[in-house]
Copies of this chain bind each other. A is one copy, B any other.
Amino acid sequence: MPPGATPALPASTVGPVHIVGTGLLGTSIGIALRRLGVDVTLADASPLALAVAVELGAGRRAHVDDAGPHLIVVAVPPEVAGPVAAAQLDTHPNAIVTDVASVKAAVLDDLSAARADLTRYVGSHPMAGRERGGAAAAMADLFVGRPWVIANSGSSSPAALSAVRDLAVDLGATVVLMDADRHDAAVALVSHVPQVVASLVAARLVDATPGAVALSGQGLRDVTRIAASDPMLWAAILAGNAGPVATLLREVRDELDSTIAALDAAAEGDLGKGVAKLHDVIVRGNAGVSRIPGKHGGARADWDVVTVMVPDSPGELGRLFTEVGSAGVNLEDVDIEHAGGKPVGLTAISVLRGSGPALAATLAAAGWRILA
């Protein structure tokens, strides 16, 4: 079996599945379902986008003679997810309908306003994405290991909830159940507010001198990476979750005001209101970031980390990995530091707990500089 393949489990999802919108998410869902043998029909407002998705194996074009779909997946931009889902519920009175928009209360409100049949509707949000959008970036594995929120409205039938849960599980995602308001507050916190703040920090660079920008380091790169996101998509997401995002941004604004006041006090030499408050800002940030699961929220307890200095010469990084590979340890993660846009300097290699010392000794014997 080639790497990347999954042992074939029979799909729980019952077709035909009709996917409306063949962007990144819709096309990826289609490809994954087709691999599981599920019949998939596709529709998109753009004939070109539809043709690409068909070519990529995401399903076949919907046809007027098709049997009615069992499940409809609405994968259109968030600002039209509600109206499109309402139209699908209306057109296909026996189908279960889900949408995959990244905001959930606004979609539910639109459906309620349209007096749609909410027993057959389940809002969902697969939390997967790539920096590149569009069908060409699609892949069957997009959802593997990712959270897939099912936004329980309280009105959905058990059959509808089961169908959407089966879809998420078939695609390898981890189902998370929460209501629409809790979902929207959570994504405001972990996704939408970071997006706004990253964009505002990056915007400060627009009028900066080249000399200042040249001093940029990894910290600025990390903080502003997501500022490269798609403006049209993000305007729709932010508008669709405006209330929760504004609430959190007001909290950020209030903390920012007291930080500015602390800086002003520090400039006057006030250690109490000034420096102590600045200290507190960083301490609270420490406490918050430590709650994030994953590699930047603290090293995993079951990994050893070996830090190696990689010189700025051609081939050194490849040579390092070749030697790590032949050392016979299980490589769990790699984190490469960058300077001036080049990967040079410290490379942190994570291996299973207990394998670190042997790897460090092997690499040191081969002449690599291992850091404490």
Contacts and interface: CB of A to CB of B under 8 A. Distances in A.
Contacts of A358: none
Contacts of A332: 317, 343
A239 B345 CA distance: 30
Interface string A299-332: 0100000000111111111110110111001111
B263 A259 contact: no
A334 B348 CA distance: 12
A219 B369 CA distance: 32
A255 B199 CA distance: 10
A51 interface: no
Contact of A318 (B257, B324, B338): B324
Q: Is the interface of A mostly helix, strand, loop or mixed?
A: helix
A225 to B, nearest CB: 5
Given A202-B289, A275-B239, A311 B4 contact: yes
Contacts of A263: 238-239, 242-243, 245-246, 249
Contact of A197 (B6, B197, B316): B197
Interface stretch (A9-17, A112-120, A153-161, A186-194): A186-194
A232 interface: yes
21 contacts: A4-B368, A144-B312, A194-B219, A195-B219, A199-B286, A201-B252, A202-B285, A202-B288, A203-B288, A204-B288, A208-B291, A221-B296, A222-B223, A222-B225, A228-B296, A230-B282, A243-B267, A250-B260, A317-B332, A318-B325, A321-B334
